[in-house]
Amino acid sequence: MCFALLLYGFYSKISNNQKLSDNDVLNFSLNLKISENIKDIKIIDQNNVLIVISDNDQSYFIMYNLKNNKIVSRIGR
């Protein structure tokens, strides 16, 4: 739930349309394992964010498309 609210915050910050309501917030899952943590989130452009995931000693990146609400690619591992 926190991840969905975080994405909503990023989206509303970069979106030209500020008329989003609480009804527009959906629950998204990155299907992380228990040992995986979100370390950082970077805004790439209006529709995409880069999420840094850490799993103990390894890290990888997920490119997430806010417009289509899906993972575009996984980089690493």
List, as one string, the DSSP characters of 25-50.
Answer: ---------TTEEEEEEEE-SSSEEE
Whether 20 shows a pLDDT value over 60: the answer reads no
Whether 55 shows a pLDDT value over 80: the answer reads yes
pLDDT for res 61: 92
Tokens for 75? 């980089």
Domain ranges of the chain: 2-75
Please give the CATH number for the structural domain made up of 2-75: 3.10.450
Q: What is the DSSP letter of 22?
A: G
In what order do the strands lie in the sheet containing 36-43? Answer: 36-43, 48-55, 58-65, 70-75
The whole model's pTM is what?
0.61
